[in-house]
Chains A and B, each alone.
Chain A
């Protein structure tokens, strides 16, 4: 195996092109090294992207944020300004692994590992985050929701890699929240999860919403019916019941030792409803930026 640590995106593209599918990108390595040690994968070349300065940066762009593909969870969560804009994504990112894993794990890595239970992915989809992809035919932007296509599989073409994740500008009275169910208090994989992002008007009515579910389908689910149940309401009883129903209907989970189909479907609706209430409190200034 060969280890490369290029200092520019162009060098990464060249290395990936030359490797013809036998290379893997190394950012935090918290999934990649585990898979290599378990003999699940045996890449010939590892391309470490952490020596590329712009991939380590968090920058303001058009009122939003561009998060470099090599920014770790610990680095992200130390930024009070981003956490104030995206408290839900911050809490989702922070749920990935231990403190030790947080020192290395990245949003782009969590996305490209393409686990249906990835914690940061529903939060990114709810945030309408966009991945910037660089490859042999140039640069393109793709909504995060369109990256995973199945467990462990992404829509990235050969030779492409993600350089950053863009979080759009926030309208006033907007907030997000993320909740997952695990049987423990920490260090576990989501049995079901929900990310919600919403915007209120100055009367407290919901004018925009996105609801994304994790661990209840082969990929993250953006549930438009769930968002539609919220828009135009004050996020009270009937709207929340309709939201939960839409989430239950959209979920197509598996039965396994961590949860049954019936359990996951019911719980994902409950999580979505609770996440809406947290996001609502944050958007209306009650406990804004404060994490549950």
Chain B
């Protein structure tokens, strides 16, 4: 079976790759483009570790074929920091100790970024519902929620 040539933009930069027809976007990001910040947790769309944005929309990259990304604008965790400068959300996750093992963290950050772009002033309940598809087995979520709310507050003041 011949490979599919996909042209896309990832974190604002043109990117292209060859993929198998049944390859997921997650596999292409990690194994072909070596953007390994995006993690595989469950592989079935339940855990949110593989969260990326596609044309601004939050999706599970394990439940999307790489071929579907043709012409799309993809946002991954690698797009959050600006060089050595962490994104506000990343800084707040560190300050609040909102991570332990770290596997879920890129997904939480990408999902939280998508939330704050849509809703700069979410309630705690809104944050919890938005992030219900991101599972963390370490923190118990509370520190994550506090970090997101604190980041939102700082971004509103900026």
Seen from chain A, the residues whose Cβ lies within 8 Å of a Cβ on chain B are 1-3, 5, 26, 29-30, 33-34, 36-38, 46, 48, 50, 72, 74, 97-101, 103-104, 186-187
Q: Is the CB of B21 within 8 A of A33?
A: no
Interchain CB contact (< 8 A) of A34 among B63, B129, B130, B131: B63
Q: Is the CB of B51 within 8 A of A3?
A: no
Residues of B contacting A: mostly:
mixed
Query: Hey, which chain A residues are within 8 Å of B132, CB to CB?
Result: 98-99, 186-187
B85 at the interface (CB under 8 A from A): no
Give the CA-CA distance A29 to B45 in the complex, in Å: 10
Query: Hey, which chain B residues are within 8 Å of A187, CB to CB?
Result: 132-133
Q: Is the CB of A3 within 8 A of B45?
A: no
Query: Hey, which chain A residues are within 8 Å of B22, CB to CB?
Result: 1, 3, 36
Across the interface, name the chain B residue whose C-beta is closest to A2: B21
B35 at the interface (CB under 8 A from A): no
Q: Is the CB of A103 within 8 A of B67?
A: no
Query: Hey, which chain B residues are within 8 Å of A97, CB to CB?
Result: 45, 133
Q: Is the CB of B59 within 8 A of A103?
A: yes
B43 at the interface (CB under 8 A from A): yes
Q: Is the CB of A2 within 8 A of B1?
A: yes
Give the CA-CA distance A74 to B58 in the complex, in Å: 9
List, sorted by A's number, 11 A–B pairs whose CB atoms are closer than 8 Å: A1-B21, A2-B1, A30-B63, A33-B24, A98-B45, A99-B115, A100-B58, A100-B60, A101-B133, A103-B54, A103-B57
B70 at the interface (CB under 8 A from A): yes
Q: Is the CB of B4 within 8 A of A3?
A: yes
Interchain CB contact (< 8 A) of A98 among B1, B21, B48, B115: B48
Query: Hey, which chain A residues are within 8 Å of B154, CB to CB?
Result: none
Interface code B55-68, partner A: CB below 8 Å = 1, 0 otherwise? 00111101111011
B111 at the interface (CB under 8 A from A): yes
Interchain CB contact (< 8 A) of B68 among A34, A37, A50: A50
Q: How far is the CB of B119 from chain A (nearest CB, A)?
A: 12
B100 at the interface (CB under 8 A from A): no
Q: How far is the CB of B136 from chain A (nearest CB, A)?
A: 14
Q: Is the CB of B57 within 8 A of A74?
A: yes
Interchain CB contact (< 8 A) of B63 among A33, A38, A50: A33
Q: How far is the CB of A97 from chain B (nearest CB, A)?
A: 7
Q: Is the CB of A30 within 8 A of B45?
A: yes
- Contacts of B5-31 to chain A: CB distance below 8 A: 21-22, 24
Across the interface, name the chain A residue whose C-beta is closest to B63: A33
Give the CA-CA distance A2 to B51 in the complex, in Å: 25
Give the CA-CA distance A234 to B109 in the complex, in Å: 50
